[in-house]
Amino acid sequence: MSAADLAAVLPIVVLAAAAVAVMLAAAIHRSHGLALWMTLASLVLAGASLPLAASEQPRRVATLLTVDGYSLFFTGLILAATFAVAVLSYAYFSRRPGNHEELYLMLLLAALGAVVLTGSRHFASLFLGLEILSASLYVLVAFPRGRRNIEAAVKYLILAAVSAALLLFGMALVYADLASMDFDRIAAASAPAGTGDLLLAAGLVLLFAGLAFKLALVPLHMWTPDVYQGAPPPVAAFIATVSKAAVFALLLRFFHPLAIQSHANLYVAFATVAVASMFAGNFLALLQNDVKRLLAYSSIAQLGYLLVAFLAGGPLAVTAVSFFLVAYTATMLGAFGIVTLMSERREAGSLENYSGLFWRRPWLAAVMAAMMFSLAGIPLTAGFIGKFYVLDAGVGSSLWLLSASLVASSAIGLYYYLRVIVVMYRRPLAAGGHSRTRPPLRPLAGGLVLALVLLIVLWLGVYPGPLIEIIQKTAILN
Amino acid sequence: MYPFQDQIGFPILSVMTFLPTLGGLLMLLFMRGRPTLYKWTALVTTGATFVLSLVMWAYFDRYTADFQFIEKVNWIPRLGTSYHMGVDGISVLLILLTTLLSLIIIPASWNYIKDRELGFFISFLVLETGMLGTFCARDMLLFYFFWEIMLIPMYFIIGIWGGPRRIYAAYKFFLYTLAGSVLMLVAIVAIAWLARPNPFAAPVFDLDQLQNAVFTINVQFFAFLAFFIAFAVKVPMWPVHTWLPDAHVEAPTAGSVILAGVLLKMGGYGILRFCLPLFPDAAVIFIPYILILSLIAIIYGAMVSLVQKDLKKLVAYSSVSHMGFVTAGIFAFNLIGIEGAILVMFSHGILTGALFLLVGFIYERLHTREIASMGGMATPFPIAATLLLFFALASLGLPGLSGFIGEFLSLLGLFTYNKAMAVIGAFGIILAAAYLLWMYLRVMFTGLKDERWHELPDFSLREVSCLAPLMALAVWVGVYPNTFINLIQPSANRLANQMAPYLAEHGNFLSHLFASLGGGS
The residue among A203, A234, A258 that closes a domain is: A258
Position A447 in a domain: yes
Contact of A336 with A88, CB cutoff 8 Å: yes
User: Is the model's pLDDT at B303 over the cut of 60?
Assistant: yes
- Rounded to an integer, the average pLDDT of A303-316 is 89
A310 found inside a domain: yes
The residue type found at A448 is L
CA distance A263 to A197: 10
- For Cα atoms A384, A389, A393, give the angle at the middle one, nearest 5 degrees: 150
Distance CA B192, CA B184 (A): 12
- Per DSSP, the residues of A58-111 read SEEETTTEEE-HHHHHHHHHHHHHHHHHHHHHHHHHTTSSS--HHHHHHHHHHH
Would an 8 Å CB–CB cutoff place B185 in contact with chain A? yes
B171 contacts on A by Cβ (under 8 Å): 415, 418, 422
Pair (A381, A460) in one structural domain: yes
Give me the mean pLDDT over the B231-248 stretch.
Answer: 88
pTM for the full predicted model: 0.85
Q: What percent of chain B is predicted at pLDDT more than 70?
A: 95
A237: region left, alpha or beta (phi > 0 left; psi from -120 to 50 alpha): alpha
Q: Is the pLDDT of residue B482 over 70?
A: yes
B420 touches chain A (CB under 8 A): no
pLDDT for residue B6: 60
Mean pLDDT over B237-266 rounds to 88
> Does residue A450 fall inside a structural domain?
yes
pLDDT, tens digit (0-9, with 9 covering 90-100), for A384-402: 999 988 988 888 888 888 9
The pLDDT assigned to A194 comes to 56
Query: A436: domain range?
Result: 263-478
d(CA B412, CA B336): 7
Tell me the per-residue pLDDT of A126-181, one tens digit each, with 9 for 90 and over: 999 999 999 999 999 988 777 888 898 999 999 999 999 999 999 999 998 888 88
Quick one: A402 and A360 in the same domain? yes
**Do A92 and A63 share a structural domain?**
yes
- Whether residue A219 has a cis bond before it, omega within 30° of 0: yes
> Which residues have CB under 8 Å from A432's CB, separation 6+?
none
Residue B72: its H or E element: strand B68-76
Please give the helix or strand (H or E) that residue B151 lies within, else none.
Answer: helix B140-161
Mean pLDDT of B319-326: 91
- Among residues B59, B69, B67, B80, which one has the least CA distance to residue B14? B69
C-alpha to C-alpha distances, B106 to A207, B13, B99, B162, B361, nearest whole angstrom: 61, 22, 11, 17, 14
In-domain check, residue A294: yes
Q: Which residue of B has its CA nearest to A410?
A: B182
User: What ipTM was estimated for this complex?
Assistant: 0.76
* Residue among A426, A224, A422, A420 at smallest CA distance from A334: A420
DSSP string of B29-71? HH-TT-HHHHHHHHHHHHHHHHHHHHHHHHH--TT--S-EEEE
pLDDT band at B26 (very low <50, low <70, confident <90, very high): confident
Instruction: Say if A196 falls within a structural domain.
Output: no
Averaged pLDDT of chain B: 85
How far apart CA B509 and CA B515 sit, in angstroms, is 10
As a whole number, mean pLDDT of residues B157-178 equals 84
DSSP B75: E
The C-alpha angle B231, B236, B237, rounded to 5 degrees, equals 95
Q: Do A468 and B159 touch (CB under 8 A)?
A: no
Name the residue facing A465 among B76, B186, B193 (closest C-beta).
B76
DSSP state of A427: P
Do A309 and A228 belong together in one domain? no
Label residue B13 by pLDDT band (50, 70, 90).
confident
User: By CA distance, what is A465's nearest residue in B?
Assistant: B76
Contacts of A373 in chain B (CB under 8 A): 152
- Distance between first and last Cα of chain B: 52
Residue-level pLDDT at A371: 94
Residue B183 is predicted with a pLDDT of 84
Q: Helix axis angle, A314-342 relative to A362-376, nearest 10°?
A: 150
Per-residue confidence (pLDDT) for residue B214, from 0 to 100? 82
> What 3-state DSSP class applies to B388?
helix
Instruction: Mark whether A254 and A132 lie in a shared domain.
Output: yes
**What pLDDT, in 10s, does the model give residues A317-351?**
899 999 999 999 999 999 999 999 888 777 777 88
Distance CA A424, CA A369 (A): 8
Q: How far is A468 from chain B (nearest CA, A)?
A: 8
**Assigned domain for A108 exists:** yes
Contacts A389 to B, Cβ<8 Å: 79
Per-residue pLDDT band at B515 (split at 50, 70, 90):
low
- Looking at the structure, do residues A247 and A326 belong to the same domain, yes or no? no
Residue B419, pLDDT score: 84
Alpha helices for A397-429 (secondary structure H): 400-425
- Enumerate the β-bridge partners of residue A65: A61, A120
Which pairing describes strands B68-76 and B4-5: parallel, antiparallel, or unpaired?
A: antiparallel
Interface of A with B (CB under 8 A): 319, 358-359, 373, 378-380, 384-385, 388-389, 391-392, 395-396, 403-404, 407, 410-411, 414-415, 418, 422, 425-426, 463-465, 468-469, 472
> Which tens digits make up the pLDDT trace of A37-96?
999 999 999 999 998 888 877 888 888 888 988 999 999 999 999 999 999 998 888 878
pLDDT in tens, B380-425: 888 888 899 999 999 988 888 888 888 888 988 888 888 888 888 8
Element housing B416 (H / E): helix B402-417
Q: Which residue of B has its CA nearest to A384?
A: B145
In a domain, A97, yes or no: yes
Tell me the C-alpha distance between A304 and A314, whole Å.
18
How far is residue A118's CA from residue A67's CA, in Å, rounded to a whole number?
9
pLDDT tens digits, A403-440: 889 988 888 888 889 888 888 877 665 544 444 444 54
pLDDT for the residue numbered A442:
54
Classify B450 in phi/psi space as left (phi over 0), alpha (psi -120 to 50) or beta.
beta
Q: How confident is the model at residue B249 (pLDDT cuts 50, 70, 90)?
A: confident
Q: How long a stretch of residues is chain A?
A: 478
Which chain B residues touch A316 with a CB distance below 8 Å? none
Q: Cα dist. A164→A64, A106, A124, A128, B134 in Å?
A: 19, 20, 13, 11, 51
Q: Determine whether the interchain pair B189/A395 forms a contact, defined as Cβ–Cβ distance below 8 Å.
A: yes
Do A148 and A268 fall within a single domain?
no
Residues A297 and A400 in one domain: yes
The answer to whether residues A249 and A305 belong to one domain is no
What are the residues whose beta carbons fall under 8 Å from the beta carbon of B465, sequence distance 6 or more? Answer: B107
Tell whether the model's pLDDT for residue B50 goes beyond 90: yes
Q: Considering the domain boundaries, does residue A126 fall inside one?
A: yes
How far apart are the C-alpha atoms of A461 and A376, rounded to whole Å? 13
The residue-averaged pLDDT of A282-291 equals 90
Q: Is A280 found in the same domain as A374?
A: yes
Do A383 and A376 contact (CB within 8 A), yes or no? yes
Q: For B332-369, what is each residue's pLDDT tens digit?
A: 888 888 999 999 999 999 999 999 999 988 888 888 88
Q: Which of A262-276, B366-380, B471-485 has the lowest mean pLDDT?
A: B366-380
Give CA–CA dist A149/A144, Å, rounded. Answer: 7
Query: How many domains, in total, are found in chain A?
Result: 2
Residues 6+ apart with CB under 8 A from A20: none
The three-class DSSP label of residue B6 is: coil
Over residues B173-230, the pLDDT tens digits come to 888 888 888 888 888 888 888 888 777 777 888 888 888 888 888 888 888 988 999 9
Is there a single domain that holds both residue A6 and residue A72?
A: yes
Helix (H, G, I), strand (E, B) or coil at A221: coil
Of A258, A280, A313, which residue constitutes the final position of a domain? A258
pLDDT in tens, B52-65: 999 888 888 888 88
The arithmetic mean of pLDDT across residues B487-501, rounded, is 86
Query: B145 touching A, CB under 8 A?
Result: yes
| SS3 state of residue B237 | coil
Q: For residue B332, give Cα distances in angstroms to B271, B289, B428, B479.
A: 13, 12, 17, 25
Closest CA to B413 of B507, B330, B320, B303: B330
Least confident of A265-279, A306-320, B503-517: B503-517
pLDDT score of B514 more than 70:
no
Same-domain pairing of A137 and A151: yes
Mutate to test the interface with A, among B76, B144, B229 (most CBs of A within 10 A): B76
| Residue, of B448 and A240, whose pLDDT is higher | A240
CA distance A192 to A190: 6
